[in-house]
Structure 1
């Protein structure tokens, strides 16, 4: 069975691009439009990895990562940030919240798939 991924981004087109890249890479993908929706989904379904944007309404990506790390099922799950934010401050904040890694938009689909494969192991 292929790995289950949760993609979180408030941009529909970005979610579609990420989902397309990852499904083409052989993953099963579920989408959420913001951190709040993602958290509700993650409470009822287990994912092998989460790829989240940082800047979103209702709940941003860093808060989402912090919340997910509180759930026993997500203590060790790879949580990747995919964002236009390349500043060191945000990276540190993401790391402190429990982010596994950081990818900058615009992303390279092959690199995204390779990174997800690597963190899932």
Structure 2
């Protein structure tokens, strides 16, 4: 896709499916590259959870290199994030709005999530 060719990008629970920091940075770099100046990036994803079930799953973090990474019973490697990770990950974009939400998971649990709306700065910004 051409640089600066997209007005709006929406990603829902995508970062949860990418366990490595560098892979997440590469994705955000690519999304930023294709956004037009003043283009919007909307991110909705899952935060670190406080319940015992998730706390137990996070104990395998050493294996994956980041707290919040875990393997599901069906073999998927997933990641929940501290809210400050999004500030770091999206630092090259201007924040517009942030909202904390509760979302149902595919297995019927409730999880704490975050929604962020950011804007790509103009070249003179």
How high is the TM-score relative to the length of structure 1?
A: 0.35
**Structure with the bigger percentage of helix:** 1
**Radius of gyration: which is bigger?**
2
